[in-house]
Amino acid sequence: MRQKIAPYLLILPGGLWLLCFLVVPLVFMASVSTQEGDVVNGFVQTFHLANFGNALGEYKTQFLRSAGYGLAGTALTILLAYPVAYWIAFKAGARKSTYLLLVLLPFFVSFVLRTVSWKFLLADDGILLQPLKDVGLLPADFHVLQTTVAVIGGLTYNYLPFMVLPIYVALERVDPRVVEAAQDLYATRRDSFLRIVLPLSLPGVFAGVLMTFVPMTADYVNASILGGPANTMIGNIIQTEYLVNNDYPAGAALSFILMAAMLIGIFAYAKALGTENVLEAAAR
């Protein structure tokens, strides 16, 4: 009898947590998203579905831009993280944990501070650009801050460890004997990587994509610190709707559209990758 209850008891704290802080607010936000009114006169539930259409129509540019930034940032993190993870998993030997710590080390510093430090690094007259301008390699009015490059760069930098760690875990689990077996069967190094190691590490990449693409697309700090007028992301719009305009229905509708779009995107990606069970893949 006890054994039957135990698992439920164990799941209770986490379950309650999710119920209180995820399910209830979600249901509530769903209700808010179809309300009408303003903060002074109050909001009334009118099942005003037009909120969604309006939000999408008005801000489709920012939606598309966020998705674009999210995709670009995710692709860049994969390109940067895979070799790092590969090297740590297979070549770092006994110092693995030291190198992993080094990957994580910048992340002991506050997220905002790290992003702000990019501003100093990339300032028009800063330590990076000024010398290049002085020697004439760059035109005097060249700048990186407040451009798409700066925002995607910031996103990539800030989410890199979330890609390195899952890929590392996946690679670390690859049994060296299967690689040996491939070589015994006269596979070239390239073949053994492409046909053995890479497919075995894909679940790690998938988990990494989940952990980087979703927060990147919803991010607003990078765009507001490093971006310019043409780099506003959907996260910035949602923040403005909630905190500046106090237009809660519009903010809620935008959040749900974003959530739906990302869920569809993630499941489509899982399907394309042949990872039938998204959650199982992520858990591995």
Partner 1 sequence: MTTPPRDLAFLRGLTQSRTRSSLTRRDALRLGGLSAAALGLAACGVQGKKVEPPKPSAAAGYWADKKKNGVLRWANWPLYMEKKGNSYPTLEAFTKDTGIQVTYQEAIQDNSTWFGKIQPQLAAGQDIGFDMMVMTNGIHLGRAMALGYLVPLDHSKLPTFNANVGAKYKNPSYDPGNAYTVPWQSGLTGIAYNPKYVDGDITSIQELWNPKYKGKVGMMLDAQEIANFALFALGVDPDKSVQADWEKAGQKLQQQRDAGLVRKYYENDYVDALVRGDIWMCMAWSGDIYQQIAEGQDLKFVVPEEGATIWTDNMCIPKTAQNPVDALAMMDYVYKPEIAAHLAEYITYITPVPAAQEVIKADAAKASGDDKKALELAATSPLIFPSESDMARLRSYKSLTPAEEKAFEGIFQPITQG
Which residues contribute to the site for partner 1 (CB under 8 A)? 20-21, 24-25, 28-29, 32, 35, 38-43, 58, 61-62, 119-120, 123-126, 141, 143, 145-146, 224-225, 227-230, 232, 236-237, 240, 242-248, 252
As measured in angstroms, the least distance from the Cβ of 228 to partner 1 is 5
As measured in angstroms, the least distance from the Cβ of 141 to partner 1 is 6
Distance (Å, whole) CA 197 – CA 203: 11
As measured in angstroms, the least distance from the Cβ of 218 to partner 1 is 16
Half-sphere exposure (CA, 13 Å, Cβ side) for 98? 5
Q: Which of 221, 211, 209, 217 is nearest to 260 (CA)?
A: 217
What is the three-class DSSP state of 44?
A: strand
CB nearer partner 1, residue 243 or residue 283? 243
CB nearer partner 1, residue 153 or residue 227? 227
As measured in angstroms, the least distance from the Cβ of 27 to partner 1 is 9
Distance (Å, whole) CA 147 – CA 228: 6
As measured in angstroms, the least distance from the Cβ of 222 to partner 1 is 13
As measured in angstroms, the least distance from the Cβ of 48 to partner 1 is 14
CB nearer partner 1, residue 99 or residue 143? 143
CB nearer partner 1, residue 96 or residue 133? 133
253 C-beta neighbours (distance < 10 Å), count: 28
As measured in angstroms, the least distance from the Cβ of 139 to partner 1 is 12
Q: What are phi and psi of 37, to 5 degrees?
A: 135, -165
Contacts 24+ apart (CB under 8 A), 105-111: 107/161, 111/158, 111/221
Cα 273 → chain centroid:
18
Q: Where are the beta strands (DSSP E) in the chain?
A: 35-38, 42-45
CB nearer partner 1, residue 71 or residue 123? 123
CB nearer partner 1, residue 32 or residue 72? 32
CB nearer partner 1, residue 92 or residue 123? 123
Interhelix angle 111-122/148-172, nearest 10 degrees: 130
Residues in the chain: 284
Distance (Å, whole) CA 224 – CA 218: 12
